Amino acid sequence: MQVKKSLLVLAFIAGLSGSASLAVLTVAELTFSVFPILTFGLAIVQLYQLYMDQDLSEDSPLLSVAAFLLGALGYSALLRAQLPDMGSNLVLLIICLGLGLWLMAKIGGFKR
C-alpha cells in the first residue's frame, strides 16, 4: 500500500502554517494576520478526518511527521533569510534538504 500524497501535502501545509502562526504571534517584525492560524486549524481538521476515514500504510505516520517538520523548518529558514537579525539559517536548510531527499526516496520519487 502506498502513502497517499494528499496526506503528505496536508502535513506539509500544517507544518508551514503552524510555524507561520507561531511566528506571527512572537516575531515583532511581522504584522498580525489571522490567516495562518485559520489555515493551521483547517489543515489539522482535514488531517484528522483523513486518518479516521481511510486505511493508511504503515509508513504514513513517519512520513507525515517528516512532511510536517519539512514545512515548519522550511518556513523558519525562509523567515530567517528575510530577517537576518534572527540568526543563521544554514542548519535549518541542511535539515530541510535532508528531510526532502529522504521523503523523495521513501515515496519513490527517484525511481523511473
Average pLDDT score, the chain: 90
pLDDT band at 67 (very low <50, low <70, confident <90, very high): very high
pLDDT band at 46 (very low <50, low <70, confident <90, very high): very high
Helix (H, G, I), strand (E, B) or coil at 55: coil
What's residue 88's pLDDT? Answer: 87
What's residue 39's pLDDT? Answer: 96
- For the entire predicted model, the pTM comes to 0.90
Mean pLDDT computed over 30-48? 94
Give the residue ranges of DSSP H helices in 27-89: 35-53, 60-82
All residues at 6 or more sequence positions from 18 whose CB lies less than 8 Å from its CB, including other chains: 40, 68, 71, 72
